[in-house]
Amino acid sequence: MTTVLTAPTDTPPGPATPTTAPAVPEQRCAEQRCAARPRLRRVRYEPEPEDVVPPRTDRGTAWPGAAPAPPAPSTFAVATERRATERELSARRRAGTTMRLVVEVVDGRRPVRQLHGLVGPRVLRYVTAAILAPHARRPTARLTSVHVSLPARDSAEVTAVCSLGGRVRVIAARLELGGPLPGEWTCTALRVL
């Protein structure tokens, strides 16, 4: 690097000002690369923890301008929901037991008398008529799935998929709460499709 001293023409005489010669091409390329390189800086994406905590109100924590928190459920609502859940669980249990027994009775592995108390008289006659004749080469019947829906408080609709006599069949049934035993689910209608 060469330093050239020149005296400007319009400045008063005094000490000379040093100037530098133009940079070598390799230096210029390195300087341009440094200038083209992006500069990284830290950016804060998340607020500080104290900024996240919502303010306390008389009904708990709430964000400013947010809708008020819903009131706590009453004990009556909680008890009603619990009874509905228990009713649904008992319907699902009874539907699974009844459909499994119906499949085994129709397959000839269980006697019809095991359905007494679970099904009504019309369903009992239907299942008795649907019992398959014993066959040595027929595969064992099995229940694949049971689906239960409760359209009303005291009734349940059941759809079951099973394999009977080597074919996939569907059983549609209706269970009602009550019947011969109070508080128990009884199958009042059933069809094997």
Helix (H) or strand (E) holding 102: helix 75-107
Q: What is the pLDDT of residues 27-77, one digit of tens each?
A: 665 566 666 666 766 666 655 555 555 555 555 555 555 666 666 667 766
**Distance in angstroms between the alpha carbons of the first and the last residue of the chain:** 99
Q: CA 92 to CA 82: how far, in whole Å?
A: 15
Q: What's 179's domain CATH number? A: 3.10.450
**Residue 89 maps to a domain:** yes
* Alpha carbons 106 and 37: distance in angstroms, whole number: 80
Is 57 among the domain residues? Answer: no
Report CA Rg, the chain: 42
Indicate whether 124 belongs to any domain.
Answer: yes
Whether the Cβ atoms of residue 134 and residue 108 lie closer than 8 Å to each other: yes
Q: How many domains does the chain have?
A: 1
Is residue 29 one of the residues assigned to a domain? no
Residue 1, pLDDT score: 47
d(CA 170, CA 175) in angstroms, rounded, equals 16
Residue 99 resides in a domain = yes
**Is residue 53, in this structure, part of any structural domain at all?**
no
Answer yes or no: are the C-beta atoms of 94 and 68 closer than 8 Å.
no
pLDDT in tens, 147-185: 999 998 889 999 999 988 788 999 999 999 876 666 789
By residue count, the chain amounts to 193
Report, as an integer, the average pLDDT of 118-140: 84
State which residues form the domain around 164. 75-192
At position 10, the amino acid (one-letter code) is D
Q: Rounded distance, CA 146 to CA 193, Å?
A: 15
Average pLDDT over residues 65-94: 74
Beta bridge pairs of residue 175:
156, 187
Could you tell me if residue 5 is inside a domain? no
